[in-house]
Structure 1
């Protein structure tokens, strides 16, 4: 690996007490690059504190600052105790969703704005699924499995909603375009967070008749994707999402998007450094 590509060389970091945040950021930059380049994989553990101190020739305070930067970015979780150490996390769409959510929350972006973005982009993914020559293997089995779960839980609104969300996530995940997967996965995750907030605030569930209609449209989408009908699948997806979003938008459309709470898994534990 080209060491120069990582950032500052180990020996180039200045020494001395009261070092600035810029030094901590330089240390974090080197470690971040190793994570993003795959030198450190998801689930790996960073070297022990003493090893990092020796490598970067910095003090404990600076190393703690660097770890806090990486924790804030969601790239490491620092554990306490005998099995302490910093566990590496590969960046995920959920992390981007939370950041999107905070920006939108701050700007008071209404739910209808988020809905429009999702309704405009997800049908493109549906069309891409239908275009895939390997859709019989790479797309349909997953969609059919989730759809079967939806049908089994038509009488349980909460379970049905979660299965529906997984169906739409599966469409994005199997569309075959990585840029769309990353972008739409973040938007889908953020929309799902809004659904969870509505449910926690007592938003009434859709009735069984509405849920059945949604399941039938999902079945039609699967048929069009199986047939390779890219245009037909796209058009049905547009109509389906318009209908699916009409219910929450009727009561929550003007409400601002909320970032929600990060889980302990998202945030990691308090630093042991």
Structure 2
């Protein structure tokens, strides 16, 4: 029998509701500790007996609380001799999966996701160009990813992966955390669509098209290095419109998929 003491019982016939409410309260406390950084990524939650003693609940209620956190992706409960709950800090990939499920349920077409990405990523490009430390932070990483693109001009799949890395580096280095989190999720969701196309055998762009895209990336790096945020923004708009034209021509009306 649970030993919960938080709040009055709702009545004999409603004990499961009471247990669920207490479980949610326990989960909320542990969630706050994870989100506030008291429990870091990879940490292990205290032993079950310690949690039972702290929250004054029974094992069933504690299991319900762990299940809530596990479904949110905040912990992984290990069974057996190495049991315990391992903490996972939230990641943009987690937000991308949630976005994807909502969009898939609403049958949002790919062209809608594309428009959001084409509207927001150029803002990140402009922010990269405004960073006073761009020569030490932004430009070296972009140049490294660009070099990877050049090495894979003859391999369509590898080139696409390197291209995604370039766009992700733009977002990651824009200097605005809200844009980083939001656009990282959108970038990840777009990348999931690309992986789906490749598994379905979508015809690849030719080497000439890939080289043109790489040259535009090189121009973006030059504009960012020069601190030309307006020029970099407008080039990014044109570049993304061209880059998205090919997949949209084949899949523009296709609903976004959350992926695995």
Describe the SS at the equivalent of 1:40: coil
Q: Which moved more, 1:159-168 or 1:53-62?
A: 53-62
Give ranges in structure 2 of 5+ residues lacking alignment. none
| Aligned residue in 2 for 1:82 | 81
| Aligned residue in 1 for 2:153 | 154
| Aligned residue in 1 for 2:258 | 259
What's the TM-score once normalised by structure 2's chain length? Answer: 0.94
| Aligned residue in 2 for 1:130 | 129
C-alpha distance after superposition, 1:235-256 (max 9, x if no partner):
0000000000000000000000
Q: Counterparts of 2:50 and 2:244 in 1: how far apart (Å)?
A: 53
Q: How does 1:1-273 map to 2 (within 5 A)?
A: 12=6, 18=16, 19-261=18-260
Q: Report the count of equivalent residues.
A: 252
**Would the aligned equivalents of 1:129 and 1:176 in 2 still touch at CA under 8 Å?**
yes
Structure ranking higher on relative contact order (CA contacts 8 Å, 6+ apart)? 1
**Would the aligned equivalents of 2:74 and 2:90 in 1 still touch at CA under 8 Å?**
yes
Q: Which moved more, 1:160-169 or 1:77-86?
A: 77-86
Q: Counterparts of 2:81 and 2:218 in 1: how far apart (Å)?
A: 52
Moved runs in structure 1, 4+ residues, more than 4 A? 13-19
RMSD: 1.5
C-alpha distance after superposition, 1:181-239 (max 9, x if no partner):
00000000000000011111111111111111110000000000000000000000000
Shift of 1:25: 0.4
Shift of 1:11: 5.9
C-alpha distance after superposition, 1:69-102 (max 9, x if no partner):
1111111111122221111111111100000000
**Would the aligned equivalents of 2:5 and 2:57 in 1 still touch at CA under 8 Å?**
no
| Aligned residue in 2 for 1:266 | none
Shift of 1:49: 1.1
Q: Counterparts of 1:82 and 1:137 in 2: how far apart (Å)?
A: 47
Shift of 1:128: 0.3
